[in-house]
Structure 1
Amino acid sequence: MIRWEAPLVAPAGIVLGTAIALATLMLMMKGPTGQGPYIPPLLYGSFAGAVVMLGLTAVTDPARAALRRETLEG
């Protein structure tokens, strides 16, 4: 169950983070250049993939340790 939760929550974080970053970058870039920011798709995809992998690791490792502890004590 925990392994399914992380991939479901990560896209929400990616979308919210992208929206906040774009809102800020649009204001910063429109003034001096008159254009919006350019985000290379491959770079964006690699960051999104890293977010999903870090989310899985951040959830899976503590859950596995807690299950081991429960098994040893129980």
Structure 2
Amino acid sequence: MNLSDYFKTARGARASLAEKVGRSPAYLSHVATGYRRASVNLAIAIEQATDGQVTRSSLRADVWPVQSSVSPSP
């Protein structure tokens, strides 16, 4: 799940997450829309605060590439 989708899961999700990770709701909205990029530490904090619903790789694929579940053909 990406951050934008997480915000749609419950009323107040953005404010609650902002409090947990120590950022403003507006800043997290900027991250969700791509206006700002999450730092490595923020990506980890968001993953932990959302119990893995929003993964660090969804926020920073440049640092943690998404692993494919399909094995390459021999």
**What's the TM-score, normalizing by structure 1?**
0.28
Bigger relative contact order (CA 8 A; separation at least 6): 1
User: Rg: which structure is higher?
Assistant: 1
Say which structure is richer in helix.
Answer: 1
